[in-house]
Structure 1
Amino acid sequence: MRSRSTLIPICVTLAGLASFSVMDGVMKAASIAAGAYAALFWRNVFGLGLMTPVWLFTRRREGAAGFPTLHVLALHLGRAALCGVMAGLFFWGTIYTPLAEAMALSFIAPLIALFLAAVFLGERIARRAFAGSLLALAGVGVIVAGTVAAGAHYSPAAVHGMIAILCSAVLYAANLVVQRRQAQLAGPVEIAFFQNLFIALLFAPGAWWLAAVPHGGLLALIGVGAGLAVVSLMLLGWAYARAEAQVLVPLEYTAFIWACLVGWLMFGEAVTLRTLGGVVLIVGGCLLAIATRTVPSDNGQPNPA
């Protein structure tokens, strides 16, 4: 039986992933209108504007302890660099790829992350977590196989988009592991503030040529994307500080359900029976993975049995 201390981070993670998936749809629309570079740069500028007063308030309340050490700053910078390239590749890829299919391709990331967590965080991979990830990955395979069986024709741009999404997925796997380490050392407000700050700074040199100032509906669209991204970062930062990566990583597969819904509502992207069958496997895999029994570790934190 999952303890309440683990169940709450699971629920918070699901909420964060839902917010991120809706943000993906908003950013796909912004990327189509303005280009992926401009959409990502301005999203983080907006996010920085939202988080600066919140972070200054929390820092004032915490005093000197509210400013991160150089080690933690380096961790924030490293994850921001990962996320900047990862998100840029993903949003560029979604311009040429249906959102649900893009999300399906990205699902190689949680499997990679499970093994990275074992190597870099010392987490023991429970058999149910591994089996659940494989079952969910099989669901993705059903969807991809259905697309191939249907004889779908991909243009060179679409192929390049899928390659970009697969590269993004590899970086996302590393990001999931760094996210767990980062969440152990910093609070969700600090994580959201520095990620928006560093990504905006990293993209700033090219903004003069590639990121014209948005106006009207595009401005509102990017503002909504920034708000959703901030909410997601804070929710996931809170959850990853309270549960192991291998418990939360398989939940990434639930984002596919939201991607199907957002793709259908915003872009008229059809959801086939094969897609629904894949979703059933994905959800089943997630339920199997999070059913892992926890026992106390030596430091008092839950470990999967």
Structure 2
Amino acid sequence: MRPLRGIAFKLASVLVFIVMASMIKSTADHVPAGQTVFFRSFFAIPVIFVWLAVRRELPGGLKTANPFGHFWRGLMGTLAMGFGFAGLGYLPLPEVTAIGYAAPILTVVFAAMFLGEEVRLFRISAVAMGMVGVMIVVYPRLTVLSGDAAGYLEAFGAMVVLGGAVFASLAQVFVRRLVNTEPTAAIVFYFSLTATALSLITIPFGWVWPTLGEAAILVGAGLLGGVGQILLTSSYREADASLVAPFDYASMIFALGIGYFVFAEVPTLPMLAGAALIVTAGILIIWRERQLGLERTRQRKAMTPQG
């Protein structure tokens, strides 16, 4: 285990994904979200494939005992990606990032519902705090009664991004099931493959012919998506998940910077306050997961016969 290297990989992945999101945002006014999902997924496949080949995880690393599990994880992940990309066309980048933080909080709820994981008062309180933060971020956008066209679009965008967070949390639940039987290489690869195939279903809903500049940006976003996935996976190889997971929230710093300097997006006080609550709740959940993991480890050691 090399914790500093793991943290470095994690921060690099967070930066790469935010840059990727900003590239996608720059094309969102013209290119439909489904078409963007195709570029993001399809052009990530060669990067991931080369990485797996270098690690000598081909073809053995792609064997699967649960193809339907990969399909459902891919479906939820594709919907999350599509909703998130669509939201970038309606809301500032930092706001989309903040609402997206609801995903790991909702994962606690869905893991209890579908995986039977026990959720005690501490995590219930953290989830409640996180959801209050989400409502603080979303509430100013819910201006549907104002009769203002921009207000309608912003409210729609907020709901779309929140829907993406719901699907992202469901995708994480499927990942938790898959890791019990599937190698990481298979989970990474088949997600990109499934998302590419599913994105083609959206062709009848209005794909466009992108300009040369837009095509270059979208291809670049796809390649960055593959690189980001490799960096993310590598971070968890180098350090404990409980150590590197909190660095996900560094994405808010990057999003604020890119939003301000690239898109001239000035963050509002409610957005910052809500994001602070969501981040605090997320870190508390991660801390609690670590404590429970240490407790389970101690119990296993206590039950192991001593030779």
Please tell me the TM-score bracket, short chain as reference. 0.7 to 0.9
Rounded Cα–Cα distance in structure 2 between residues aligned with 1:118 and 1:125: 6
| Structure 1 residues 64 and 198: alpha-carbon distance in aligned structure 2, compared to 1, 3 A threshold | closer
Cα deviation digits, residues 117-140 of structure 1 (max 9, x gap) = 234444443655444444444444
2:25 pairs with 1:28: yes
Rounded Cα–Cα distance in structure 2 between residues aligned with 1:233 and 1:197: 14
| Structure 1 residues 85 and 278: alpha-carbon distance in aligned structure 2, compared to 1, 3 A threshold | closer
The match for 2:173 is: 177
2:88 pairs with 1:102: no
| Structure 1 residues 133 and 140: alpha-carbon distance in aligned structure 2, compared to 1, 3 A threshold | same
Rounded Cα–Cα distance in structure 2 between residues aligned with 1:63 and 1:221: 30
The match for 2:227 is: 231
The match for 2:63 is: 68
TM-score by length of 1: 0.75
Q: Is the 8 A contact 2:35 2:202 kept in 1?
A: no
| Structure 1 residues 159 and 279: alpha-carbon distance in aligned structure 2, compared to 1, 3 A threshold | closer
Cα deviation digits, residues 177-230 of structure 1 (max 9, x gap) = 222333444444433322221111122244487445645322231133213322
2:85 pairs with 1:87: no
| Structure 1 residues 187 and 216: alpha-carbon distance in aligned structure 2, compared to 1, 3 A threshold | farther
2:152 pairs with 1:156: yes
Rounded Cα–Cα distance in structure 1 between residues aligned with 2:2 and 2:116: 21
Calculate the aligned-residue CA RMSD, in Å.
3.8
The match for 2:36 is: 39
Rounded Cα–Cα distance in structure 1 between residues aligned with 2:162 and 2:276: 23
- Which residue of 272, 277, 281 maps to 1:276? 272
Out of 272-281 and 108-117, give the one that drifted further: 272-281
The match for 1:196 is: 192
The match for 1:50 is: 47
Deviation, structure 1 residue 115: 1.9
Written as runs of structure 1 = structure 2, the 5 A alignment for 1:127-146 is 127-144=121-138
Gaps of 5+ in 2: 302-307
Match for 1:39: what amino acid?
A: T
Q: Is the 8 A contact 1:254 1:283 kept in 2?
A: no
| Structure 1 residues 130 and 204: alpha-carbon distance in aligned structure 2, compared to 1, 3 A threshold | same
SS of the residue corresponding to residue 267 of structure 2 reads: coil
| Structure 1 residues 142 and 168: alpha-carbon distance in aligned structure 2, compared to 1, 3 A threshold | closer
Q: Is the 8 A contact 1:179 1:240 kept in 2?
A: no
Deviation, structure 1 residue 172: 1.4
Count of residue pairs brought into register by the alignment: 292
Deviation, structure 1 residue 14: 5.5
Gaps of 5+ in 1: 301-305
Rounded Cα–Cα distance in structure 2 between residues aligned with 1:56 and 1:275: 43
Rounded Cα–Cα distance in structure 2 between residues aligned with 1:122 and 1:6: 31
Deviation, structure 1 residue 96: 1.6
TM-score by length of 2: 0.75
| Structure 1 residues 53 and 280: alpha-carbon distance in aligned structure 2, compared to 1, 3 A threshold | closer
Rounded Cα–Cα distance in structure 1 between residues aligned with 2:267 and 2:259: 9
State the percentage of identical aligned residues. Answer: 25
The match for 1:111 is: 105
Rounded Cα–Cα distance in structure 1 between residues aligned with 2:22 and 2:193: 23
2:259 pairs with 1:263: yes
SS of the residue corresponding to residue 169 of structure 1 reads: helix
The match for 1:295 is: 295
Q: Is the 8 A contact 2:52 2:185 kept in 1?
A: yes
Q: Is the 8 A contact 2:47 2:227 kept in 1?
A: no
| Structure 1 residues 9 and 32: alpha-carbon distance in aligned structure 2, compared to 1, 3 A threshold | same
The match for 1:216 is: 212
| Structure 1 residues 248 and 75: alpha-carbon distance in aligned structure 2, compared to 1, 3 A threshold | farther
Match for 2:191: what amino acid?
A: Q
Q: Is the 8 A contact 1:132 1:250 kept in 2?
A: no
Match for 2:109: what amino acid?
A: F
Q: Is the 8 A contact 1:113 1:173 kept in 2?
A: yes
